[in-house]
Amino acid sequence: MTEGIDMTRIPEHIAIIMDGNGRWATERNKPRSYGHQAGVDTVRRITSECVRLGVKYLTLYTFSTENWSRPSDEIAALMGLVLTSLEDEIFMKNNVRFRVIGDIARLPQEVQNKLHETEEHTAKNSAMTMVVALSYSARWEITKAMREIIAEHQLDSSSFIQPEMITEDVISRHLQTNFMPDPDLLIRTGGELRISNYLLWQIAYSELYFCDTYWPDFDELDLHKAIGSFQQRQRRFGKTEKQIENENK
Q: Does 141 bind ligand IPE (CB under 6 A)?
A: no
Catalytic, 19? Answer yes
Q: How far is CA 38 from CA 30, 83, 184, 218, in A?
A: 11, 15, 27, 11
Catalytic, 67? Answer yes
**d(C-alpha 86, C-alpha 73), whole Å:** 20
User: CB under 5 to 8 A by kind: which of ligand IPE, Mg ion, none does 63 bind?
Assistant: ligand IPE
Task: Name the one range near ligand IPE by CB under 6 A: 59-67, 82-90, 157-165, 227-235.
Answer: 59-67
Helix (H) or strand (E) holding 188: strand 185-188
**What are residue 62's phi and psi, to 5 degrees?**
-110, -35
21 labelled as ligand-binding?
yes
Alpha helices in the chain (DSSP H): 21-27, 32-53, 72-85, 88-94, 109-121, 138-154, 168-173, 220-231, 241-247
User: CB under 5 to 8 A by kind: which of ligand IPE, Mg ion, none does 62 bind?
Assistant: ligand IPE
DSSP 177: T
* Rounded least distance, CB 83 to ligand IPE, Å: 15
Which of these is catalytic: 6, 19, 184, 197?
19
19, 49, 141, 182: which one contacts Mg ion (CB under 5 A)? 19
User: CB under 5 to 8 A by kind: which of Mg ion, ligand IPE, none does 207 bind?
Assistant: none
Which residues are within 8 A (CB) of 56 and not within 5 positions of it... i.e. 6 or more apart? 12, 13, 128, 129
Positions at the binding site = 19-24, 32, 36, 64-66, 68, 70, 188, 194-196, 207
Which spans of this chain sit near ligand IPE (rule: CB under 6 A)? 17-23, 61-64, 66-67, 78, 190, 192, 194, 196
